[in-house]
Amino acid sequence: MEPKEIIKMGYFIQDYLTKHQPKDAKRKDFMTILIEKGYFNNDHRDGLPLRNLLRQLDDDNQLYLLPQVSVERKDTNRFWFFNAFKF
């Protein structure tokens, strides 16, 4: 996914988080909405497409493209959380 597209997805996620105000939302909470908006074709294994994108961004040091995301790194896994970005 192109950085421009990821940034647009970030604006959509920010809008959702601001309106619904969930705290520490999980990646699977967004999959239905992101599929409807055309960012992903389908959901596989509770948010695998978004998880793969987040891993790629993390590996490439580009998580700044989605400022709503925070990650908790363990020895083998990463846990992703979404919170509204405060300006």
The pLDDT tens digits for 18-32 are 998 888 998 888 888
> Do the domain assignments include residue 59?
yes
- The verdict on residue 37 lying in a domain is yes
What is the domain range of residue 74? Answer: 3-82
Residue 56 falls inside a structural domain? yes
Mean pLDDT taken over the chain:
92
49 Rama sector, left if φ>0, alpha if ψ -120 to 50, beta otherwise? alpha
Q: Is 87 a domain residue?
A: no
| Any domain includes 19 | yes
Q: Cβ(1)–Cβ(64) under 8 Å?
A: no
Residues 6+ apart with CB under 8 A from 8: none
- Please report whether residue 55 resides in a domain: yes
Over 90: is that where the pLDDT of 85 sits? no
Place of tokens 């998580």: 63
The span from the CA of 65 to the CA of 77, in Å, is 21
Q: What pTM does this model have?
A: 0.89
pLDDT, tens only, 3-15? 999 999 999 999 9
Q: Is the pLDDT score of 87 beyond 80? A: no
Q: What percent of the chain has pLDDT over 90?
A: 72
Give every CB contact of residue 32 below 8 A, 6+ residues apart in sequence: 43
Residue 54 lies in a domain: yes
Number of domains composing the chain: 1
